[in-house]
Homo-oligomer: A and B are copies of this chain.
Amino acid sequence: MATLSDISLSAAINLLSAFIFLVAFAILRLQPFNDRVYFPKWYLKGLRASPTNSSRGAVTRVVNLDFRSYLRFLNWMPEALKMPEPELIDHAGLDSAVYLRIYLLGLKIFVPIACLAFAVLVPVNVTNHTLDKVANVTASNIDNLSISNIPLESQRFWAHIVMAYAFTFWTLYVLMKEYEKVASMRLAFLASEKRRPDQFTVLVQNVPPDPDESVSELVEHFFLVNHPDHYLTHQEVYNANKLASLVKKKKSLRNWLDFYQLKYFRNQAQRPMIKTGFLGCRGEKVDAIDLYTSKIEKISMEIAEERARVAKDPKAIMPVAFVSFKTRWAAAVCAQTQQSRNPTLWLTEWAPEPRDVYWQNLAIPYVSLTIRRLIIGVAFFFLTFFFMIPIAMVQSLASIEGIEKAAPFLEPIVETDFIKSFIQGFLPGIILKLFLIFLPTILMMMSKFEGFNSLSSLERRSATRFYIFNIVNVFLGSIIAGTAFEQLNTFLKQSTSDIPKTIGVAIPMKATFFITYIMVDGWAGVAGEILMLKPLIFYHLKNFFLVKTEKDREEAMDPGSLGFDTKEPRIQFYFLLGLVYSTVTPVLLPFIIIFFAFAYVVFRHQIINVYNQEYESAASFWPAVHGRVLIALIIAQLLMMGLLSTKGAALATPFLIALPVLTFWFYRFCQGRYEPAFVRYPLQEAMMKDTLERAREPNLNLKGYLQQAYVHPVFKSADEDDDDNVEDDEDGDLAYLSGKIDGDTALVPTKRQSRRSTPAPSRVSAGSSPSMSEERSHATKGGPPEP
């Protein structure tokens, strides 16, 4: 068991590394040549110009020589805190602003809990001498402050029970206030926000195949019949996956071309030559610039062909459409209702923001979706429960005893005080960390395979999985495998009521491990985050090898984004640790508070200066955040019950059993009270905004506004990517495409003879002809109808 000196060493190492990171950051960020790495957000916003273009001297353009600025190396902190929240929402979006509130939530929950715990529980624990008496347990000094120090069947456990109640009520109160606040922020954001295409648009999936009509005609007829007064227009979705991969390939080829051109430009004496064979090592030598130029030309041709094929081939249109309505009210109605008899067809939901759409997954049919969910469910189960074994093995190998056993010749080295402390205080955290690096990618692939159709939902699902994984492997895995790997097997065969006991008993012993973990992962990790080492290196590599123009330099910046799928579960883990240890080993709480405070400042700085928002989901992740804190709370309560029942405080169980029941009820209550604000869109709001807009802009051409909103990014970015050789061709294509879209919305008379099992619609279309002819006149304004 780690002693106080181990902890101190670990704290020193981590504080030092955090300090080094901060100093390095302070120096690097002041260098003008790093400006684009540390302030990309402002470049993207167009509010900052390249300092390398300014009229300063050649050296000062690259290196900052003003020494006074180095003295104020921590002044980014107050600066990060300066921007008020409304401005932050405006600057970086609601998602980022609410994300920061998770850290604040941590502070709000744990600062009062820590004060109370230090005022009550630490004195109660420390005035015992149980651990001194037990000879065969080498208790660390930290354990004297924990619940382990209280003798069996002591009346002092009542203090812990009362505190468990107090902490629970305080946590629930803060959570409720926060949910209320975030819900009202979301509604205010949605209400204040200006017109956006997704307000009027519904994503329709699983359009049934029809032998007589194309998808586009079918969608139009269906919505003209079933939403006759409200349907405005729709956009079909093209299967552009192949096209997207071709465009991507072309981009990489152009990078190579740039590289060789730059090489030639720097050394004009010799044209760069490469071999064409395997990995550029064999085969005949050719001129690299010529080679890549011809390759790019070839792929450009292919792209043009594929683009033409997609635009013309009816099979490239997927059974999916973005249907737009005349009012927000009608879109809200369509998104919240069931359209067809068969609940697996004509599925409607709010369209994600255009930049939030995950295009690859739009056309997965319903049955395939459910099967995918089953497969991923089983796969995730195996991932979670079999990932545990290697971690546990490596961790037990990396303990002092493990090393001595595996390699007896290392014994003299390992038994050195410093190395021993290092192994005990530092190594387990690092091993855990290494194992977790590849996890997010796997989880994200799983979510993608599962078929979600927006980036935000992909990230939310990955975050949920990551959280479960963390609880099972990092939390439970560390507690059980850390003491002995063999416990894992017996644990699975244990009684239901014994599980909380087994874990509960191990909890106080693991406090020092988790303190180390917090320092490694929380303190040093966050400080490393601000240094942005990976983007920094990549930027300078690209800058040296590829950048020719200012535009290339812009592309070389990689601001990254918040990464909800990995960062949120990490924060949640600290909530879990804090809540579990609040009654057991309160000494852990200050470490967690420091983490929350430090991370809040760092991420506020990053959000203001670095991260580029990929999408805006208007804080729709909050119900998940709220739910996970509650799960952590319930786990803490159950473990407390288990721990106390082994301490001879049998009376405690009936008192503590009410807490998880109450917490669960609170969860259900909040679900009914606040969650709808994150899932549905009240008609009252929609109607209000519609009416306001109608009064303000009576002559708005909404159709024109929505026409091109949901075009696949490959079509949109066409003119950016291909500005050299195939420009005219593509522009023509895009024009053709939009002409086709326009043309489709003009009413095409149905070609079919009879509509099986649906006698009404033809009557409807006859009945509602005024609105339809109006529709047609609208449509013909946009483009000529198809022949």
Stretch at the interface among A355-363, A549-557, A758-766: A758-766
Q: Tell whether, in the assembled complex, residue A337 and residue B332 are in contact, meaning their CB atoms are under 8 Å apart.
A: yes
**Which of A52-60, A339-347, A592-600 binds B?**
A339-347
- Cβ–Cβ contact A682 & B339, under 8 A: yes
Q: Does A154 contact B (CB under 8 A)?
A: no
Q: Is A692 in contact with chain B by the CB < 8 A criterion?
A: yes
Nearest residue (CB) in B for A673 is: B344
Q: Are B333 and A337 in contact (CB under 8 A)?
A: yes
Once the chains bind, are B498 and A767 in contact (CB under 8 Å)?
no
Q: Which residues of B contact A661 (CB under 8 A)?
A: 374, 378
Over the window 681-699 of chain A, the binary record of Cβ atoms lying under 8 Å from chain B Cβ atoms (1 yes, 0 no) is 1111101100110110000
Partner among B374, B676, B687 whose Cβ is within 8 Å of the Cβ of A760: B687
Which residues from chain B contact A665 at a C-beta distance below 8 Å? 370, 373-374, 377
Cross-interface CB contact of A341 among B226, B496, B684, B759, cutoff 8 Å: B684
Chain B residue contacts of A227, Cβ below 8 A? 683
Kindly state the separation between the CA atoms of A763 and B695 in the bound complex, as whole angstroms: 9
Cβ of A333: which chain B residues have Cβ within 8 Å of it?
333, 337
Which of B494, B669, B682, B695 contacts A338 (CB under 8 A)?
B682
B336 adjacent to A337 (CB under 8 Å) = yes
Q: How far is the CB of A354 from chain B (nearest CB, A)?
A: 24
Does the CB pair B767–A695 fall under 8 Å? yes
- Answer yes or no: A116 CB below 8 A from chain B CBs: no
Closest to A760 in B: B688
Q: CB distance A339 to B758 under 8 Å?
A: no
Q: Does more than half of chain A's interface fall in helix, strand or loop, or is it mixed?
A: helix
Q: Which residues of B contact A498 (CB under 8 A)?
A: 493, 495
Complex Cα–Cα for A338 and B676 (A): 8
Contact of A274 with B by CB under 8 A: no
Is A338 touching B683 in the complex (CB atoms < 8 A)? yes
Q: Which residues of A in the span 742-769 have a Cβ within 8 Å of any Cβ on B?
A: 758-761, 763-764, 767
Report how far A432 CA is from B766 CA in the complex, Å: 65
Q: Measured between alpha carbons, how far is A336 from B343 in the docked complex, in Å? A: 14
A339–B684 Cα gap in the complex (Å)?
A: 6
CB pair B674 A764 closer than 8 Å: no
Q: Which residues of B contact A496 (CB under 8 A)?
A: 494-496, 499
Instruction: For residue A231, give the distance in angstroms from its CB to the closest CB of chain B.
Output: 12
- Smallest CB gap from A370: residue in B: B669
Point out the residues of chain B lying under 8 angstroms from A692, CB to CB: 760, 763
Q: A496 to chain B: closest CB distance in Å?
A: 5
Whether B370 contacts A672 by the Cβ 8 Å rule is yes
Question: For window 307-353 of chain A, which residues contact chain B by CB distance below 8 Å?
Answer: 332-333, 336-341, 343-344, 346
User: Within 8 Å of chain B (Cβ to Cβ): is A497?
Assistant: yes
Residue A538 at the chain B interface, CB threshold 8 Å? no
A677 is an interface residue with CB less than 8 A from chain B? yes
**A680 & B337 in contact (Cβ 8 Å cutoff):** yes
In Å, the complex CA distance between A694 and B767 comes to: 9
Chain B residues closer than 8 Å to A687, beta-carbon distance: 225-226, 760, 764
Whether the Cβ atoms of B338 and A691 lie closer than 8 Å is no
| Chain B CB within 8 A of A187 CB | yes
Most-contacted residue by chain B among A337, A366, A373, A767 (CB, 10 A): A337
Q: Chain B residue with minimal CB distance to A681?
A: B338
Assess the B685–A341 pair: CB atoms within 8 A: yes
Residue A229 interfacial (CB < 8 Å): yes
A673 touches B343 (CB 8 A): yes
- Residues in B with CB closer than 8 Å to A759 are 688
Question: In the complex, A497→B489 CA distance in Å?
Answer: 12
User: Which among A332, A492, A760 has the highest number of chain B CB atoms within 10 Å?
Assistant: A760
Q: What is the minimal beta-carbon distance from A307 to any residue of chain B, in angstroms?
A: 36
Is A716 in contact with chain B by the CB < 8 A criterion? no
- Partner of A682 from the list B341, B499, B695 (CB cut-off 8 Å) is B341
**Residue A567, interface by CB 8 Å:** no
Which positions 636-682 of chain A face chain B at CB distance < 8 Å? 661, 665, 668-669, 672-677, 680-682
Q: Which residues of B contact A346 (CB under 8 A)?
A: 684
Give Cα A774–Cα B332 distance, bound, in whole angstroms.
26
Known: A332-B337, A370-B668, A497-B493. A343 touches B677 (CB 8 A): yes
A338 surroundings in chain B (CB, below 8 A): 336, 676, 680-683
- The answer to whether A764 and B691 have CB atoms under 8 Å apart is yes
**How far apart are the CA atoms of A344 and B498 in the complex, in Å?**
40
* Interface members, chain A 729-787 (any B CB < 8 Å): 758-761, 763-764, 767
Could you give 13 example pairs across A and B, Cβ below 8 Å?
Answer: A225-B684, A226-B684, A338-B681, A338-B683, A339-B683, A340-B684, A341-B684, A341-B685, A343-B674, A366-B672, A374-B661, A684-B758, A688-B760
What is the interface of chain A, defined by CB distance below 8 A to chain B?
187, 222, 225-227, 229, 332-333, 336-341, 343-344, 346, 366, 370, 373-374, 377-378, 492-499, 661, 665, 668-669, 672-677, 680-685, 687-688, 691-692, 694-695, 758-761, 763-764, 767
Q: Which 5 A-B pairs have the closest CB atoms?
A: A343-B676, A688-B760, A495-B495, A338-B680, A336-B337
Given contacts A337-B683, A495-B495, 17 further A-B contacts (CB under 8 A): A187-B341, A332-B337, A339-B683, A341-B684, A343-B672, A343-B676, A346-B684, A370-B669, A374-B665, A378-B661, A493-B495, A494-B496, A496-B496, A688-B761, A691-B767, A695-B763, A695-B767
